[in-house]
A = this chain, B = another copy of it.
Amino acid sequence: MSEGRPEGMTADSWQEWPHNRWAYQHIDEVLRTVRIPHGSTVLELAEGAPLEVEGLDAELGALSTDGLIVLRGREVVLERYLNGMTAETPHLLQSVTKSICSAVLSPFVAGGLIDVRSPIGAYVPELRGSAYDDALVQHALDMTVAVAYDETYDDPDSDVNEHDRASGWKAPRGGGAGSIPEFLATLQKNGEHGRRWHYCSANTDVLAWVLESVTGTRFTDLWAAFWPRLGAEHDALMTVDVDGFSLASGGGCVTLRDLARFGRLFLEGGRGATGDQIVPGEWVDDVRWGVSPGVDWSELPETFQAHGSYRDQFWRPGDGHGCFFGWGIYGQFVWVNPTTDVVVAKLSTQHTADDVLVAHHNHALLDRLSTLAAAAS
């Protein structure tokens, strides 16, 4: 256990440092949650020859790390828990949840229930008249919806903070939307879809809504169908709003090893613990190789190299290894290196949501570990 619930933590402060150090490991005490049960088949991870990395502990401390694991193939070669986190602790993923949403959604695309070239308004009538009416599902997947949405974390009047209040992640103010769907329906179009990459968390919640609409099933039930097939060892949690709607853009909580297993799934061609195809092979390929022609990437974070991009709710640094990863604010990562067959998962509670230098440091560390792990084998 960590040092205990912080004094003075409020409904508005838990997400930020230093309260996040405790809260991200105790989300059910802070928010409404739905439990996603694990199953009886666990994707077994063997113990591999330990990876020694000089100076790692100081680096992990500087990056406010709560947990770090490195998988080479299905072998654990490095595993650290700090700040009271244990192997059994579900830790908030923030936007790494988006990548899980992508995986949960993928079979419904392959199965034909969702056409990524169809407008979202065709699936969710409640979004007609909003920015999403004529945006295609693929636009939402790739963050190229032209939507007026300001994802500035430290401005209380920004859209992302209004989104937080609608989700129950922050205390309500008078007059705001009372639920996630109500909030999503207020968002307006501000250009041509598919032209400009613009990171917008609302897009993922819209994807979850599409998924719920076509399946008639709650997102958490769909995740619950996926989780045992992946071979997860522990229950996951999902935060929900007052009406039980999932925050698919950021509300997932999983243990460190289960996050690594999730990354591993993409190196197993989308096959889960039982060998079943739980993410279609074409989806895995699209996450890795899919292109969004003509998109203006100028809003990508500076930490990205010249060829960085984003696809299907995954980040792609555009490096020589063909890496891709899930990324959440305050330091959450699942980094997949297909060249070295290595997955690195890191959960943290940083001082700041998205400081560019800290992001660069994290990316460099994850890249380095995913390379070192292969070299040491």
Contacts and interface: CB of A to CB of B under 8 A. Distances in A.
Interface of A: 4-5, 9-11, 28-35, 171, 218, 240, 242-244
Contacts of A244: 5, 9, 29
A28 B218 CA distance: 16
A216 to B, nearest CB: 10
Secondary structure at chain A's binding surface: helix, strand, loop or mixed?
loop
A171 B243 CA distance: 12
Nearest to A220: B29
The 9 residue pairs across chains A and B that have the minimum distance between CB atoms: A5-B244, A11-B242, A29-B34, A28-B33, A29-B32, A28-B28, A29-B240, A29-B244, A30-B32
Contacts of A4: 218
Nearest to A12: B242
A32 B240 CA distance: 11
A294 to B, nearest CB: 42
- Of A11, A28, A30, chain B has the most CB atoms within 10 Å of the CB of A28
- Of A5, A9, A218, chain B has the most CB atoms within 10 Å of the CB of A5
Nearest to A6: B244
Contact of A218 (B5, B11, B34, B242): B5
A303 B29 CA distance: 38
Contacts of A28: 28, 32-35
A180 to B, nearest CB: 14
A39 B30 CA distance: 24
A31 B32 contact: yes
Given A10-B243, A29-B240, 15 more contacts: A4-B218, A5-B218, A5-B244, A9-B243, A10-B242, A28-B32, A28-B34, A28-B35, A29-B32, A29-B33, A29-B34, A30-B32, A31-B32, A32-B32, A171-B242
A111 B9 CA distance: 32
A28 B33 CA distance: 6
10 contacts: A5-B218, A9-B244, A10-B243, A28-B28, A28-B32, A29-B240, A30-B32, A31-B32, A33-B33, A171-B242
A5 B220 CA distance: 12
Nearest to A221: B4
Nearest to A11: B242
Contacts of A10: 242-243
A4 B220 CA distance: 12
Contacts of A243: 9-10
Nearest to A37: B88
A10 B178 CA distance: 11
Contacts of A242: 10-11, 171
A9 B242 CA distance: 9
A22 to B, nearest CB: 10
Contacts of A29: 32-34, 240, 244
Nearest to A218: B5
A209 to B, nearest CB: 15
Contacts of A171: 242
A122 B20 CA distance: 35
A242 B5 CA distance: 12
